[in-house]
Structure 1
């Protein structure tokens, strides 16, 4: 590891001692996120991704000061907020500075006329949603990590929520944002309601995982709370029938806020019933009462054409009540030798069923349970989760098994031409496969990196950079 002592002293002199830490416990704590592999390494007291100094930014000027010093001394900077990433995005690969922006003062303002909210990037997503709900609004963005993630993190990781079939992903919800470049300039990027003055430059930093700049403030769309909502659970004869059913919903241009389809193995968990013996589909509609009734009728007509049977709303209602619950994976990770992993990918309708079968077969020998569900539907395809739950003899074996699971999954997905991530991003988990996944277009990313971060200080080792 390089000696960054001169930079650390300058950081102390500029920011003050209270914001700069080289204490081992701070460096070790900031070397892990929520990636199950990192959780296991932490339990083994292994910390391969430590920085050299941990900075707590409490005002925007701290960010520009850190970047100026980092550029002067050629020190890597890895930005970190609540670290709910499950792929190692906020973890340093070359030491240097860990810049924690989660303590920046949280503020927000609502523009009811334009139906937008502007919030500092450090704002906890769940807290912001709760404040908006009190005023009759919703973000429409509802990732499982809603209460563990920040608004800025959603943009940096190109996040999407469980209700994206209606509201869209973060790329559809963002109106504008402020970003500080690696070289210190602050930029405001916007297109409200739409702008055709050249390329949409907002897209440059979405999903860039802190490699191109530091997002400081975000303006998002908001939506009136729906006056009506209806839920329905369907048993479905086969996975193929369920995928065809989902495709038909998309092709029919119906926009339910909830579309989630579980294979038989995960249906047992989703329904809380180990005797459940078919795949299961959750559908939900929101909006004006007349629209909800009509949409539910149309959805039921499509579902029955594909052999689905309505079971009532209870299955979906149960899931809605526990959709932020991580305990199954977390409890398993806390046991000696236990692990749980969730890997999401995306693929086209014409090959997603074949890919599902190939992954189930390839991952079967590596885990006690291999579960799968499909959600976030599009005209061209859908995302797919592979969820692995297992118990091994010790944590060392669990670590090696997790590494093998990731390698196996990525190689199978590349073979089938699938997208390696739908919304969890690249991070450390997928960076080794980035160039093969992005292909020739990776050259564009490299050129942007060189132009926007000429000293290569921001989050090196991610996205194949």
Structure 2
């Protein structure tokens, strides 16, 4: 292929493919075949946004937050990805890696006709290493299919997010995700031990899966969580665990949120290894415990699941019961937990969106010393925004030093010209107060597009370091521009242009 095969494309904002993009499509078809180059507008429209609630709000009005991708490419191998990236670099056409669009922060939204790399054809487990408890898998494999295949061999990935069945393994690593059993197995950055990834210059980075290193800063940690801004992950090596032989689920009714947080803190700081810890505030508890007398006087619920070898499970369950009694908790039937587990991979947000509501979720982390105050402060300020504004929270990822507070915020159906500014203010309150309380603005959803404005507040001087790394690795700003607080390319659309516009007339 010569440079004559590649011409600089225009940045299509939508509509039919630009003439120059046809030239680029021809060049890419030589690498992956014409059937794997999607050029039709209807096909590209399916990649225009992920599950970012703000984008779905706008889609209800027939509007896009960003643009259509200029092309959608479906590679099958790491070598094909590397060749496509080289073509894109020569054409100076930016690239966005795409898993299955399950993200909720706009991380895959094109802002200027970027070329989308759909990784879902790279969907195979390459090796299960039972000697070292490792699995090597392609980045585009569906999370549910991955876990099912491991279960059939007697193993689990330990990474079970709500989005399990609609996400990819590569997407987990790209956004530094966390599963519902993170208190036992860790988040994805604790599970990934090796990878292959394509850099913006087309070179392939390979990190060998070893137990530990003391050879300078971790390159693995630089890539995991970079959301396609520094590299396109094509293959991962992850830890796996034998499926536990025993399990015991405990459900407690507690008098206050503070008591529930104290229980979780005690469990984790004692060194127990629960599979699941889920604490619910009064609002979220009520919806799950209707008709259960124990919760009339104790309106806060905690679910604690112990797993492993039977003697260890029995011993840990006995310790948890002792801790629960010390905070005036009462053990109840496991019905609420059983109901949650039966529907653990179903998104609640979509159910509200389908009814015309403005529903969003924000997950942050904070140390134990600030957990109760953070909840109270955000709840009070959100309540002042609108008489029907909903705020609730649960705590479903707990650690020795602190906790993830997972908040649900909702407005009733109303005109978007009124709803969007309030929604924006909700985010400002939740994120600003998290930083003011010494917390982190994200636990497992990543940062994508929507959290970009707060990345400097999150990292401080560290954000300058990240920008310099981005500029050194990707001087063309080729990979996923405008995400993670990195700058967009010239000519990019403003994704928030409708917050202050007359959105009633789209």
Q: Same fold (TM over 0.5)?
A: yes
Alpha-carbon distance in structure 2 between the residues aligned to 1:415 and 1:137: 41
Shift of 1:397: 4.0
Alpha-carbon distance in structure 2 between the residues aligned to 1:222 and 1:70: 36
- Unpaired segments of 5 or more residues in structure 1? none
Shift of 1:391: 1.6
- Unpaired segments of 5 or more residues in structure 2? 1-9, 13-17, 487-506
Alpha-carbon distance in structure 1 between the residues aligned to 2:341 and 2:377: 30
Shift of 1:437: 1.3
Alpha-carbon distance in structure 2 between the residues aligned to 1:316 and 1:105: 32
Alpha-carbon distance in structure 1 between the residues aligned to 2:458 and 2:28: 41
Q: Equivalent of 1:47, from 59, 64, 89?
A: 64
Q: Secondary structure at the match of 1:271?
A: coil
Moved more, 80-89 or 399-408: 399-408
Q: 2:99, 2:120 within 8 Å by CA — same for their partners in 1?
A: yes
Cα distance per residue 1:205-232 (max 9 Å; x no partner): 0110100000001111111111100001
Q: 2:360, 2:409 within 8 Å by CA — same for their partners in 1?
A: yes
Q: Equivalent of 2:250, from 207, 210, 232?
A: 232
Q: 1:258, 1:284 within 8 Å by CA — same for their partners in 2?
A: yes
Query: CA 1:147–1:106 in structure 2 vs 1: closer, same or farther (change >3 Å)?
Result: same
Moved more, 73-82 or 366-375: 366-375
- Alignment of 1:184 onto 2:202: yes
- Alignment of 1:31 onto 2:70: no
Query: CA 1:360–1:189 in structure 2 vs 1: closer, same or farther (change >3 Å)?
Result: same
- Alignment of 1:373 onto 2:391: no
Alpha-carbon distance in structure 2 between the residues aligned to 1:124 and 1:344: 23
Structure 2-normalised TM-score?
A: 0.87
Alpha-carbon distance in structure 1 between the residues aligned to 2:69 and 2:346: 34
Q: 1:157, 1:208 within 8 Å by CA — same for their partners in 2?
A: yes
- Alignment of 1:299 onto 2:313: no
User: What is the aligned residue count?
Assistant: 463
Q: 1:236, 1:308 within 8 Å by CA — same for their partners in 2?
A: yes
Residue of structure 1 equivalent to 2:331: 310
Alpha-carbon distance in structure 2 between the residues aligned to 1:400 and 1:344: 20
Alpha-carbon distance in structure 1 between the residues aligned to 2:19 and 2:104: 31
Query: CA 1:269–1:132 in structure 2 vs 1: closer, same or farther (change >3 Å)?
Result: same
Pairing 1:91-130 to 2, within 5 Å after superposition = 91-130=109-148
Q: 2:145, 2:165 within 8 Å by CA — same for their partners in 1?
A: yes
Q: Equivalent of 2:26, from 12, 16, 37?
A: 12
Pairing 1:19-168 to 2, within 5 Å after superposition = 19-60=36-77, 61-168=79-186
Residue of structure 2 equivalent to 1:217: 235
Alpha-carbon distance in structure 2 between the residues aligned to 1:7 and 1:31: 17
Q: 1:374, 1:385 within 8 Å by CA — same for their partners in 2?
A: yes
Alpha-carbon distance in structure 1 between the residues aligned to 2:312 and 2:186: 19
Q: 2:163, 2:345 within 8 Å by CA — same for their partners in 1?
A: yes
Q: Equivalent of 1:360, from 375, 379, 386?
A: 379
Residue of structure 1 equivalent to 2:428: 407
Alpha-carbon distance in structure 2 between the residues aligned to 1:312 and 1:96: 52
